[in-house]
Amino acid sequence: MSSNEPEDINPYELLGVTTESTEAEIRTAYRQRSLKVHPDRNRGNPDAARKFHELNQAYELLLDPLRRMAVDAKLRVKEARKARFSQYDAKRKNMVEDLEERERAFKKARVDKELETKARVQENERIMEEGRKLREEREQELRRNAAEVQEAEKRANTELEPPTLGTLDTTVRIKFPLSSHPDMTTPTSLISILSRFGPLDEQSIVLSLKPAPPKKPRRVIALVPFKQVGGAFAAVCASGRADTGLADIEVNWAEEKEPELIGWLKKMGKLSTAARNNATPSTPAVPTNGAITTPALSATSRPSAATPATAPLASASAPFSSFPSSFPDLETSRTPITAGIDAGLDYESLTLMRLRQAERERLEREIRERDAAEGD
């Protein structure tokens, strides 16, 4: 029978006292032993701290009357069992030792099983936590991809939608020296030369004669609003050209910058400034991109009734800019442009929709493949 089990430490043996020792004797023995096993006096001994702790535990136990009584009872039972064991014959001693060994093995197996269960629970919790983090990361990635797709769609829609027409986008500023055109001092005279580019808002023309500065000719400045932005664009393109009747006449946008709608049309490829031969105001030509090439820059623009029959027309070889034929007539509607310019724009919208659908299908396919790989 084993008599020195590690869990059954005898506090009396640690302090070097007996069960009959008094509290004073226990205190004296503790002071003497503590001086010997104190960690400060045993710096090179790795077990010094453990021994000092065990000595303190034994000292506190023996100073507690109730706990000391329990220890004394346990020691008496142990001594009685040892006495009985000493009286057994060899066969019976072997049987008792075998039983005790089995009991210790059973206790050890139970403790090992509890530790294994605890470790398995901790591992499951760790795996669940990692799975939760992966799931959150996947959801964040999906939300991020969805946000990117929405942003791309929003960007594409923003690029496809034409900007609104400003209040001065159809107005041009006319400048010319009075000495070059002495007869152009009335709105009617301006209408006669500008009406070929498109319908004019005759009631809103503003004309001003600037006094002549020193050593400079007297100038005429006018704000001429067209009913269509196409007419204004054509007039600006024909600025200063003798073949269009605008020799020595400077035509620019009223706000001194190109309207956003013109820039959008150029960006979408619906507006070009390439020269085209054999084009006349009365015979518009339809190119392959759907835009109509005409000096008036609009299929709905026609010479005004105020235009004399003998007014000079553009040369057949003069370059004019192309402008979409379906541009809205501002005479009947001043609302912002929201529809497509021509059939080519619908084809581009369809192409962008197909590209976005293909990109969405590709993202979904990659997510499914990644989920299947992680499941394996």
Let me know the angle formed at the C-alpha of 212 by 211 and 213, rounded to the nearest 5 degrees. Answer: 115
**Of the candidates 73, 83, 71, 59, the residue with the CA atom closest to the CA atom of residue 3:** 83
- Residues of the chain with pLDDT > 70: what percent? 73
Residue 206's CATH number: 3.30.70.330
Does any domain span residue 146? Answer: no
Does any domain span residue 1? Answer: no
Write down which residue in 63, 87, 111 finishes a domain. 87
For the stretch 126-144, pLDDT in tens is 999 999 999 999 999 999 9
- In a shared domain, residues 74 and 188: no
Write down which residue in 44, 63, 87 finishes a domain. 87
User: Cβ(344)–Cβ(289) under 8 Å?
Assistant: yes
DSSP category for residue 226: B
- pLDDT of amino acid 169: 85
Q: Residue 208 pairs with which residues in a beta bridge?
A: 221
- In a shared domain, residues 177 and 51: no
Per-residue pLDDT at 30 exceeds 80: yes
Does any domain span residue 306? Answer: yes
Per-residue pLDDT at 4 exceeds 50: no
Band (pLDDT 50/70/90 cuts) for residue 355 is confident
Question: What whole-number distance in Å separates Cα of residue 106 and Cα of residue 276?
Answer: 103
- pLDDT of amino acid 114: 93
Per-residue pLDDT at 116 exceeds 90: yes
Q: Is 339 left (phi over 0), alpha (psi -120 to 50) or beta?
A: beta
Mean pLDDT lowest for which of 27-31, 225-229, 230-234, 367-371?
367-371
- In a shared domain, residues 178 and 81: no
DSSP category for residue 180: T
**What is residue 294's three-state secondary structure?**
coil
Question: What whole-number distance in Å separates Cα of residue 83 and Cα of residue 100?
Answer: 16
Question: What whole-number distance in Å separates Cα of residue 349 and Cα of residue 345?
Answer: 6
Average pLDDT over residues 310-321: 37
- In a shared domain, residues 60 and 177: no
Higher pLDDT, 27 or 343: 27
Question: What whole-number distance in Å separates Cα of residue 173 and Cα of residue 53?
Answer: 101
- In a shared domain, residues 207 and 308: yes
Question: What whole-number distance in Å separates Cα of residue 29 and Cα of residue 59?
Answer: 9
Q: What are phi and psi of 24, to 5 degrees?
A: -65, -40
- In a shared domain, residues 192 and 330: yes
Question: What whole-number distance in Å separates Cα of residue 227 and Cα of residue 112?
Answer: 94
For the stretch 37-72, pLDDT in tens is 888 888 888 888 888 999 999 999 999 999 999 999
Question: What whole-number distance in Å separates Cα of residue 199 and Cα of residue 296?
Answer: 9
- Residues of the chain with pLDDT > 90: what percent? 20
Does any domain span residue 148? Answer: no
- The residue whose two tokens read 């001043």 is 334
Write down which residue in 87, 118, 153 finishes a domain. 87
- In a shared domain, residues 181 and 47: no
User: Cβ(276)–Cβ(266) under 8 Å?
Assistant: no
Give the count of beta carbons closer than 10 Å to the beta carbon of residue 310. 6
Residue 40's CATH number: 1.10.287.110
- In a shared domain, residues 79 and 210: no
User: Cβ(223)–Cβ(173) under 8 Å?
Assistant: yes
- In a shared domain, residues 198 and 336: yes
For residues 214-234, one letter each, b for 16 or more C-beta atoms within 10 angstroms of the residue's C-beta and e for the rest, the string is eeeeebbebebbbbbbbbbbb
- pLDDT of amino acid 346: 55
Question: What whole-number distance in Å separates Cα of residue 316 and Cα of residue 177?
Answer: 28
Average pLDDT over residues 333-339: 37
Question: What whole-number distance in Å separates Cα of residue 313 and Cα of residue 244?
Answer: 7
Total domains in the chain come to 2
- In a shared domain, residues 44 and 181: no
Does any domain span residue 366? Answer: no
- The residue whose two tokens read 């640690």 is 14
Does any domain span residue 21? Answer: yes
- In a shared domain, residues 59 and 189: no
Band (pLDDT 50/70/90 cuts) for residue 178 is confident
Per-residue pLDDT at 122 exceeds 90: yes
According to the per-residue pLDDT averaged within each range, which of 186-190, 263-267, 371-375 is highest?
Answer: 186-190
Q: Residue 332 pairs with which residues in a beta bridge?
A: none
The amino acid at residue 239 is: S
Give the DSSP H/E element, type plus range, for residue 279.
none
Per-residue pLDDT at 200 exceeds 60: yes
Give the count of beta carbons closer than 10 Å to the beta carbon of residue 264. 18
For the stretch 67-115, pLDDT in tens is 999 999 988 888 888 887 777 777 777 887 888 888 889 999 999 999 9
- pLDDT of amino acid 308: 35
Does any domain span residue 267? Answer: yes
- CA 184 vs CA 22, 58, 190, 220: distances in Å: 134, 122, 6, 9
Taking all residues of the chain, what is their mean pLDDT, rounded to a whole number?
Answer: 74
Does any domain span residue 154? Answer: no
Domain span at 45: 11-87
- In a shared domain, residues 186 and 309: yes
Higher pLDDT, 375 or 219: 219
